[in-house]
């Protein structure tokens, strides 16, 4: 059972307080997008053994969505940060690099 730090209310939340929301940093494609773009947005997901970025909602707490960088293999959490960003912030990427040198996830490293 994971614990994640909610970057909004500051609570170190138990997994039972949280709702998971799948992969983070998806770029939305709407009308006008090609079939490939739309397929990628709707269906294609990373499935790494290692560094991953996910959406979580503090559903039974402050209700805010936030993003988490963690290791799917060891469950180590590298950092959590507000959802209002399109890419992992530098300090989170640095934290990952310190623990997992040479990591790569989608276009980020």
Partner 1 sequence: MSTRLAKGGRLVNRGRKVQFSFNGKNLSGFEGDTLASALLANDQMMVGRSFKYHRPRGVVAAGAEEPNGLVNLGEGNQLEPNQRVTTTELFDGLSCTSQNHWPSLEFDIGAVNTYLSRFLPAGFYYKMFMYPRAFWKHVYEPFIRQSAGLGRAPDAHARDQDTYEYFHIHADVLVIGGGVAGLQAALTAGRAGLRVVLMEQTAAWGGRAVVDGGTIAGKPAQDFVDAAISELQGMPNVHLRLRCMGAGVYDHGYVLGYERVNDHAPKQAGPRHRLWKVRTAQVISATGAIERPLSFAGNDIPGVMLAGAVRDYVVNFGVSIGDRTVVVTNNDDAYRTAIVLKEQGLSVPAIIDARASGGGALADQARALGIRVENGRAIAKVKGGRRVTGVAICAQAGEGAVLEEIACDAVAMSGGWSPVVHLWSHCGGKLVWDAPKAMFRPNPDAPPTGADGQGFVICAGAANGAFDLAEVMRDAAQAGAQAARAAGASNASDAAPEADSVVEAPLEPVWLMPQGANIKLRMKSWLDFQNDVKVADVQLAAREGFESVEHAKRYTTLGMATDQGKLSNINGLAILSDALGQPIPQTGTTTFRPPYTPISMGAIAGEARGKIFQPIRRTPMHAWHEAQGAYFEPVGQWRRPYCYPRSGETHGQAVSREIRQVRNSVGMLDASTLGKLVVKGPDAGRFLDMMYTNMMSNLAVGKCRYGLMCSENGFLMDDGVVARIDEDTWLCHTTTGGADRIHAHMEDWLQCEWWDWNVYVTNVTEQLAQIAVVGPNARKVLEKLGGMDVSKEALPFMQWADGQLDGIAVRIYRISFSGELSYEIAVDAGQGQALWDKLQAAGAEFGVMPYGTEALHVLRAEKGFIMIGDETDGTVIPQDLNLHWAISKKKTDFLGKRAQERSHMADPNRWRLVGLETLDGSVLPDGAYAVADGHNANGQRNMQGRVTSTYYSPTLDRGIAMGLVLHGPERMGEVIDFPGTDGKVYKARIVDPVFFDKDGEKQNV
| 103 belongs to the binding site for partner 1 (CB under 8 A) | no
- From residue 37, how far is each of 42, 43, 75, 78 by CA, in Å? 9, 10, 31, 30
CB of 107 to partner 1, least distance (A): 19
CB of 9 to partner 1, least distance (A): 14
Burial label for 35, CB within 10 Å (0-12, 13-18, 19+), is exposed
Q: Which residues bind partner 1 (CB under 8 A)?
A: 1-3, 14, 19, 21, 28-33, 35, 38, 42, 55, 57, 59, 63-65, 71, 74-77, 83-84, 99
């Amino acid at each position: 059972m994971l614990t994640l730090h909610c970057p909004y209310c500051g609570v170190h939340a138990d997994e039972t307080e949280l709702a998971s929301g799948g992969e983070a940093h998806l770029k939305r494609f709407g009308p006008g997008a090609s079939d490939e773009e739309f397929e990628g947005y709707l269906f294609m997901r990373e499935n790494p053994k290692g560094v991953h970025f996910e959406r979580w909602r503090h559903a039974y707490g402050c209700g805010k969505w936030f993003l988490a960088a963690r290791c799917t293999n060891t469950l180590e959490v590298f950092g959590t940060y507000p959802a209002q960003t399109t890419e992992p912030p530098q300090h989170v990427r640095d934290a990952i690099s310190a623990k997992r040198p040479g990591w790569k996830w989608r276009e980020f490293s």
